[in-house]
Amino acid sequence: MKIVAYELNGKATYGVLQDARIIEVSQSFLARYPDVRSLLESRALPELAAVIKGSTATLKLQDMKLLPPVANPRKIFCVGLNYRTHVAETKRPDAKHPAIFVRFADSLTAHEQPMMSPASYSEMFDYEGELAVVIGKGGRHIAPDDAFDHIAGYACFNDGTVRDWQRHTHQWTPGKNFPATGAFGPALVTADEIEDVNKLTLTTRLNGEVMQHASLADLIFTIPVIIEYLSTFTELNPGDVIATGTPGGVGDRRTPPLYMQPGDIAEVEISQVGKLRNVVKSA
């Protein structure tokens, strides 16, 4: 399934994407599982699949205001420096452990919603195309061999970064958490739709020009390793989001640097997962 969260008549809800239309979920189902996080917490994905089986998609995707697939995750983890091409362009040494930082939920926006450049504070707003992993079954001390059993699904992610604020100190938090600077979506593609995550290909475009292109097989720290590492120091919960890192080609490391400007169109496309599209606007 491809689960989308959206706003209808001023109220947040969710449904299942079928081609370019959305299958609405019944009110009785929503009464039990009012949002995607509660759906995952209750392990109710099979029930949702049964409920929508044979249903007709009635809502046009283009007419809906989409929301991040999980709008209220307890935790959002991001992995830095997780492709060798990106490590090389940053001229950083190899690391023994994943570089982990966090984002806040209000730092994210959805597919076809604006990414907000904090232009009053910075002219260094950069793109970072990534694969996001959404946890379906929580836990601590998750072994790598069991990691994929804990994944609900995947989505595209653009870890929009305010570079000068990222470099104010060695802590990256400020540059990663201006409101609506990151993008997440368009849909949560359930794990059963992806046979082999290593065969996925990620492409980031800015105004139609390819900026980043890589295979997910190029991750330095694989998804099972990341899940094991995170679950060692904290409990992972259903609905938690893990952005797995960006490949080389970021604007900050180009000559000359290339930063996103108001009016630019940023796209992150991952094979079998979808295409996340956002217009950059000035905050």
pLDDT of residue 93: 84
Going through the chain in order, the beta strands assigned E by DSSP cover: 2-8, 11-18, 21-24, 59-60, 65-67, 76-80, 99-102, 108-109, 115-117, 125-126, 129-135, 151-158, 161-162, 182-190, 201-206, 209-215, 241-243, 265-270, 274-282
Per-residue pLDDT, 94 = 85
Alpha carbons 260 and 258: distance in angstroms, whole number: 7
Residue given tokens 């706003």 in the structure block: 7
Residue ranges and CATH numbers for the domains of the chain are 2-66 (no CATH), 76-282 (3.90.850.10)
Which stretches of the chain score pLDDT less than 50?
A: none
Q: How far apart are CA 222 and CA 237, in angstroms?
A: 19
- Using alpha carbons, select from 13, 20, 11 the residue that is nearest to residue 2: 20
- Residue showing tokens 């998804």: 223
Q: What pLDDT is attached to residue 21?
A: 97
- At 92 the pLDDT is 86
Tell the burial category of 11 from Cβ atoms under 10 Å away from its Cβ (0-12, 13-18, 19+).
Answer: exposed
Terminal-residue alpha carbon distance, the chain: 34
Query: Could you give the residue ranges of the DSSP H alpha helices within the chain?
Result: 27-32, 36-41, 45-52, 84-90, 163-166, 173-176, 223-233
46's CB contacts (< 8 A; 6+ apart) are: none
Taking only the tens place, the pLDDT of each residue in 68-104 is 999 999 999 999 999 999 989 998 888 899 999 999 9
